[in-house]
Amino acid sequence: MSTAKKTFKRVTVKSLLEMKEQAEKISMLTSYDFTMAQLVDKAGVDVILVGDSASNVFAGHETTLPITLDQMIYHASSVVRGVSRALIVVDIPFGSYQSDSKEALRSAIRIMKESGAHAVKIEGGEEIKDSLKRILAAGIPVMGHLGLTPQSIYQFGSYTVRAKEDAEAEKLIKDALLLEKLGCFAIVLEKVPAALAQKVAAQLQIPVIGIGAGNGVDGQVLVVNDMLGMSTEFSPRFLRRYLNLDEQINGAFVKYVADVKSKDFPNENEQY
Ligand code: KIV
């Protein structure tokens, strides 16, 4: 059942700004397929992110780098078909915007046109300024992503907390202000100190949505597979598991195998 304070028929980028103005926290979860997206939307989650984390949790890659634009569009169009209320945001994947701003615009247009999603998300600050300007000028809503940006993992070297040092924190604040000035409608802040994230959220008019960024921001996002406990391997401090699906699903599969082997399934009522 939804616990949203304000009932939006359809969440838009404007609704998110209203939520920030009214101090209503924004809920966001990822989804990569039709069935999960339907469940997430039915629960009243405000924003559904078709994250490039699909590369990890769906395809089993170690990083988000291998997922392609075509694959992101496939996931996004499946999600779009399952959603009637949430705002749907799609990650522009690694390798489809870094070469130049025209390529970035082409990728954003393909996502919007071929999936039917409502906005794109893109990692980076000052260094992708030209791409942001071009995408925004085409009327495509953009969500920024700063802090730990997983597409740059080989540059960072590890998934540890970002912007703990003054210089990186200052750059992050500058980048966040720039993204707002350019016209982004929201920013994801990933794995940064809570005090810094709170400072950024207080300085910006647009919503700041955190993952591992504490409670002083305007909303929270989690990867749906992680919060459902579908795997026990990924266990960062910021992750709250709402279910232990790993155990429950395994129990169901083990029982199914036993039922088939013992000829208990199907029984008389389960056949024609
Ligand atoms: O791809 C993703 O799931 C993300 C979230 C972690 C914010 O970018």
* pLDDT greater than 70 at residue 6: no
Taking only the tens place, the pLDDT of each residue in 112-122 is 999 999 999 99
Q: Mark whether 64 and 87 lie in a shared domain.
A: yes
What does DSSP assign to residue 232?
S
Q: Are strands 219-222 and 87-91 parallel, antiparallel or unpaired?
A: unpaired
Q: Mark whether 136 and 82 lie in a shared domain.
A: yes
Q: Which helix (DSSP H) or strand (DSSP E) does residue 238 occupy? A: none
* pLDDT greater than 60 at residue 4: no
Distance CA 47, CA 233 (A): 26
| Residue labelled with tokens 């960062």 | 236
Pick the range with the lowest mean pLDDT from 8-12, 211-215, 238-242, 256-260: 8-12
* pLDDT greater than 80 at residue 126: yes
Q: Which residue puts its alpha carbon closest to atom 8 of ligand 1?
A: 51
Output the CA 145–ligand 1 centroid distance in Å.
Answer: 9
**What CA–CA distances, in Å, run from 103 to 34, 64, 92, 125, 129?**
28, 19, 11, 17, 14
Question: Which is more confidently placed, 7 or 256?
Answer: 256
Predicted local distance difference test score (pLDDT) of residue 264: 98
Distance CA 123, CA 270 (A): 50
Radius of gyration of the chain, Cα coordinates, nearest whole angstrom: 20
Q: Mark whether 213 and 262 lie in a shared domain.
A: no
Residue 66's CATH number: 3.20.20.60
Query: Considering only CA atoms, which of 141, 50, 135 is closest in space to residue 88?
Result: 50
User: Domain range holding 223?
Assistant: 3-241
DSSP letters of 81-129?
Answer: HH-SSSEEEEEPPTTSSSS-HHHHHHHHHHHHHHH--SEEEEE-SGGGH
DSSP bridge partners of 89: 49, 119
**Per-residue pLDDT averaged across 199-206, rounded?**
98
Q: Which residue puts its alpha carbon closest to atom 5 of ligand 1?
A: 51
Q: What is the pTM of this model?
A: 0.96
Predicted local distance difference test score (pLDDT) of residue 8: 77
Output the CA 30–ligand 1 centroid distance in Å.
Answer: 7
Q: Mark whether 188 and 89 lie in a shared domain.
A: yes
Q: Mark whether 135 and 51 lie in a shared domain.
A: yes
Distance CA 123, CA 121 (A): 7
Predicted local distance difference test score (pLDDT) of residue 7: 74
Predicted local distance difference test score (pLDDT) of residue 152: 97
Distance CA 202, CA 208 (A): 9
Catalytic residues: 190
Q: Mark whether 137 and 149 lie in a shared domain.
A: yes
Q: Mark whether 139 and 230 lie in a shared domain.
A: yes
Phi, psi angles (nearest 5°) of residue 157 = 90, -20
Q: Mark whether 234 and 257 lie in a shared domain.
A: no
Q: Which structure tokens are listed for 11?
A: 């969440």
Q: Mark whether 204 and 113 lie in a shared domain.
A: yes
Measured from the Cα of 221, ligand 1's closest atom is 7
Angle at 149 between CA 141 and CA 216, to 5 degrees: 75
Contacts of 154 (CB under 8 A, 6+ apart): 63
Output the CA 130–ligand 1 centroid distance in Å.
Answer: 23
Output the CA 223–ligand 1 centroid distance in Å.
Answer: 7
Mutate to test the pocket of ligand 1, among 32, 223, 227 (most ligand atoms within 8 A of CB): 223
**Per-residue pLDDT averaged across 9-23, rounded?**
97
Distance CA 122, CA 134 (A): 13
Q: Mark whether 205 and 268 lie in a shared domain.
A: no
Q: Which residue puts its alpha carbon closest to atom 1 of ligand 1?
A: 51
Phi, psi angles (nearest 5°) of residue 68 = -100, 170
Tell me the pLDDT of the chain averaged across its residues. 96
Predicted local distance difference test score (pLDDT) of residue 205: 98
Q: Mark whether 77 and 192 lie in a shared domain.
A: yes
How many beta carbons lie within 10 A of that of residue 35, not counting itself? Answer: 10
Q: Mark whether 129 and 200 lie in a shared domain.
A: yes
Measured from the Cα of 30, ligand 1's closest atom is 3
Domain count, the chain: 2
Instruction: Give the residues surrounding ligand 1 with Cβ less than 6 Å away.
Output: 30, 49, 51-53, 91, 188, 190, 211, 221, 223
DSSP bridge partners of 88: 48
Percentage of the chain lying above the pLDDT 90 cut: 96
